[in-house]
Amino acid sequence: MKLWGGRFTSGTDALVDDFNSSIRFDGRLYKHDINGSIAHATMLGLCDIINKSEAELICSGLSDILQDIEAGKIQFEISAEDIHMNIEKLLIERIGEVGKKLHTGRSRNDQVALDIRMYLKDEIFNITKLLKDLLQLLIETSEKNLEVILPGYTHMQRAQPITLAHYLMAYFQMFRRDVERLSDCYLRTDWMPLGSGALAGTTYPLDRDFVSQLLGFANITENSLDAVSDRDFVIELASCISIIMMHLSRFSEEMVIWSSHEFGFVEMDDAYSTGSSIMPQKKNPDVAELVRGKTGRVYGDLMAMLTIMKSLPLAYNKDMQEDKEAIFDAVDTVKMCLPVFTRMLATLKFRSKNMYAAASKGFTNATDFADYLVKKGIPFRTAHEITGHLVLHCIDKNAAIEDLPLNELQSFCDKIESDIYSEISLDTCVKGRSLPGGPSPEAVRLSIDNAKNWLSIV
């Protein structure tokens, strides 16, 4: 007999039981469900809605169930539908009729809203911790590579010389924003919905503020209709995770490219690479490729959530049961990707000589050549045109700008002097860009100091 089966004259079909059940995936909410129920029962006793001794018996029974679940002594039942009914059924079996009083003043609608909020609050903390580990590694690696020069790219074409530290700290800024987004998402998740009932609250004199404080929430929800039908916080977290995965995917893509023979900027550690079943020479960047690939499934989780919710009328609808598999998968995926990516990055070998050699080609100092002419009094547009003609000349001769003798450079502009060679050296090009946010070692040191200060307080 179902706990809700009073108005039914026959049982549900076994196929419907299986189709309707969510215990296969919402079983992971057991701890949050039990803790929420203990808080609810405690409040019922304090408010004299049920006898205090009954409340204590309920709380004791729930604590025992929690211990048995964590000891692996309990198998959840498909026929009991979900984690809420499984726990309540177990409680009634253990303590008898008193267990039937637990559900006084609440509905599974506000109960599941409570559980998922509690669960996701914990997971936001866990994901943030993994991001901080990656951020710390980026700081440490940047400090070791302040002087390493490599080409920066636009349109995947060599553009201007930068430092490896500057490159790594660009990703620091991305993941920093991810931490800030998660923190902001947490604020909207931190609202306690219990007491909203099915949709219209309850006539029992519940102390919602007490339950909220007991469970560590900052606020109580202010509209019962919204409280049971809101999944914005789930969608928002799925969006935050999607952006994290997008950043990991961009980083992974560059590591895949950089580890190729054509680039040769990095070498993957053997522990974070795989081989080919047929080609014995291969060393494949599978970790980076899998992170890149798993980004797509997380985007799918976000799209699923948006689609599930897009046409639902107020208040709760069974469609909303589908939120859990999507958000659980997104959470599990990002928690799987972050630590393995961080370890992969920690074990990378950066090939600084190859980076410098690449920066020496592709005319990455052409902008600095034009700027040199500007400093000699030539308008920038004219300087740009002169430099373009010079680059075309160098391409024809298969030479770099700095390879040409002074008289040949002066044939393009008579204001060029012998100091041109030092002015367009890669070191000068990089060190001269010392504005805040620039790639010079001086500017990046400041960026790293700011990053350390921020990371110490978040």
Max Cα-Cα span within the chain? 102
Which residue in the list 10, 155, 261, 277 is annotated as catalytic? Answer: 155
CA angle 368, 372, 377 (to 5 degrees): 145
Identify residue 7 by its one-letter amino acid code: R
In whole angstroms, give the CA distance from residue 291 to residue 340. Answer: 9
> For the chain, how big is the Rg over CA atoms in Å?
31
Q: Cα–chain-centroid distance for residue 266? A: 25
Residue 269, token pair as written in the block: 């550690």
> Is-contact 429 441, C-beta < 8 A?
no
Three-state secondary structure call for residue 125? helix
Check residue 99 and report its DSSP letter: G
Strands (E), 198-242: 219-220
Q: Does 271 sit behind a cis peptide bond, omega within 30 degrees of 0 on the bond before it? A: no
Residue 147, token pair as written in the block: 């002087």
> Is-contact 196 113, C-beta < 8 A?
yes
In whole angstroms, give the CA distance from residue 175 to residue 132. Answer: 9
Q: Is 434 a catalytic residue?
A: no
CA angle 408, 410, 414 (to 5 degrees): 165
Helices (H), 47-107: 52-70, 83-95
CA distance between the termini of the chain: 51
Q: Give the HSE-up count for residue 151: Cα atoms under 13 Å, Cβ half-sphere.
A: 22
Three-state secondary structure call for residue 166? helix
CA angle 153, 158, 162 (to 5 degrees): 60
Which residue in the list 53, 183, 276, 411 is annotated as catalytic? Answer: 276
CA angle 317, 319, 325 (to 5 degrees): 135
Q: Is 216 left (phi over 0), alpha (psi -120 to 50) or beta?
A: left
> Is-contact 23 80, C-beta < 8 A?
yes
Q: Is 276 a catalytic residue?
A: yes
Q: Give the HSE-up count for residue 189: Cα atoms under 13 Å, Cβ half-sphere.
A: 25
In whole angstroms, give the CA distance from residue 41 to residue 210. Answer: 12
By annotation, the residues acting in catalysis are 155, 276
